[in-house]
Chains A and B, each alone.
Chain A
Amino acid sequence: MRARVYWPVTLAAALLVALLAYGLTTTATDTTLDSAMARGDRVDPPTSAALPLLGGEGTGSLADYKGKVVLVNVWAAWCNPCRDELPLIQKAHEMMESRGGTVLGIDVKENSGAALKAVDEFDLTYPNLRDRDGSFVREWGQTGYPENYVIDRDGKVAAVRRFPVTQKWIDETLPPLLDESA
């Protein structure tokens, strides 16, 4: 009798523990990219899924920039450190454009009106995609705002910056990659 009473309880407890474990593993920050960068490896992007274009129809993805060096800038207009670095990012884009590179902005978790207002305010001339709910950058192991990832001409992730960029970082990171051939 005792066994008949307790087996459903045990089963329910096991299911709850399994559910908790699944929830923890699926919401934990992915550090694969950081480990690869720490080893000095270049790796495939965690995802290159298509995202809606900001201020336009259709979608865009990293695949659209094959053969180019791409500085992926993760930002949002509500994030002050992101706003602080936008002038630097625009300047980097102007430098990269003539050397076979581009900045690709990923605007995260905000309405397009607010994002477009910032694009106008900072005179951003590079393309921007919209990660409406943050699921794209989650796969990149995003931990905060802003973040920057550099993709080389072979489409591999060559550098990751988990906090605002500096001119020094741009000068040290981008030119060597722009000098590489595909």
Chain B
Amino acid sequence: MVTTFRLAFVDYAILLIYFASVLGIGFALRRYQRSSADFFLSGRSIPAWVAGLAFLSANLGAQEVIGMAASGAKYGIATSHFYWIGAIPAMVFVGVFMMPFYYGSRARSVPEYLRLRFDEKTRGFNAITFAAMTVFSSGISMYAMGLLLGVLLGWDFNVSVLVSALVVLLYIFAGGLTSAIYNEVLQFCLIVAGFVPLVFLGLRDVGGWAGLSERLAVTATQAGFAPGAYTQSWQHMGSPATNPMGVEWFGLAMGLGFVLSFGYWTTDFLVVQRAMASNSMSAARRTPLIAAFPKMLFPALVILPGMIALALTTQAGESGFTLPTKADGSLNYDLTIPMMLGHYFPSGILGLGLTALMASFMSGMAGNVTAFNTVWTYDIYQAYIKRGASDGHYLWMGRMATVVGITLSVATAYATTQFNNIMDMLQLVFAFVNAPLFATFLLGMFWRRTTGHGAFGGLVAGTLAAALHHGLTLPRGSLAGIKGGWLAGGGDAVLNPYPSEMAQNFWTAIWAWTVCFGVTIAVSLVTRPRPAEELRGLVYSLTERPSDAGAPWYRRPVPLAVLVLGMTLVLNVIFF
């Protein structure tokens, strides 16, 4: 059963210190917001380490933290594939190979890069879908927070949503992107500060890594898997039937490791914006690499608690921790983190843990809002509604877009309470739009023959391919509808029943990417290419390599990248 936390005065005091800090940062930064570049790009003045931590935190919303712990409890250590395969290689790639174009082209956003490289329609397609997606995800994040605080603390949904929206609004309105970035760094520190003691106590309770593996071996055997299924990340990936995730290594490596991961980390403006705000080309390239170091260690903070929770639930520990169950008797994995906080943390540090969660909800919102106001102002308003206005006008529009973006997010949060299905459907549509994107960027940056018509045609075809694949397939045991199969009528008519939803997602992405890649090449070959001089600085073969000779190794992207990949390989070997 879900227990309501009782907060003491000291817990509220810690929360208040946090709220005062974020507002204080916003107001301290207010007087530096003189131009639109200050507001949307932090005046390209952020040092590499700050941009790096923000790059990481922008992706570390509360849903990520809570969701990864839930996956840790569901699938065990295989969840770390989302980090070691599904993030690190793409982060290295964007830093070493793609940042020279993003930062070097002086584009102010990802859609703007698409206009410079291709044409207006490709930019428009990306800008509009991206803007809609950011508003929508920040609304979902607000909704999730309101729901969680209601369950845990008995707080009123309206109060939770409106207060957090107001705080985020105030600090972004005042300090723009810099405010958001600073608060992301703060949030990173809070998550580490809140979760390190949690993992320590959980590990003590379960008897260390040895005790954890021992318990999970029993759990795995009872579930019909090999004893190491929850504690070894690669050994059981030979077939979907032998691991709790229900995927095999090829779908995992191609779908997650290649298409989804590269699609997200290299093209999502939400994260790329952090690197674009850094103070030099070298800093921009190091931003994702610096982020990769904490990223590869994060499984210890977010996945390990999930594994501990599963072990203690199935084989009781001394302190009597168990995961709550849902109405249908299945374990409620999503409550892993909140339940562990409530179980191990007394007043005082409990306030810290809750503050860390709230900070990650709010900075997740803020990240989306800053990406939205930039894309709206530069790629939609300045491009299609009002060209050639003064810079001051666009700065004003940025602030207005912040207000509108947050208002729309709040509306989304309330809409989600009413129409859960529509939200699921929208999320699905956005997944279709995103899946092929990396093929467009890859060809655009590394094959100068790629044309605007090719890129646009490929994107549309890839999106349709994703929808088609989803409509014709279904995870085993699901009903046709939101889970897929809506074109085939479900049941036996489904072309390919996948062993799990995750496997279906990976293969949807693989199909979308492949179709986009093929169609982009085919259309490019029959349309007129742009002259080489127009593509200088936008395409690999026509761009000078940024030189970092003379800097010490830890300030150079390539040695850092080698170090990151080496360490990730070692982690994979240790937990093979």
A joins B in a complex: no
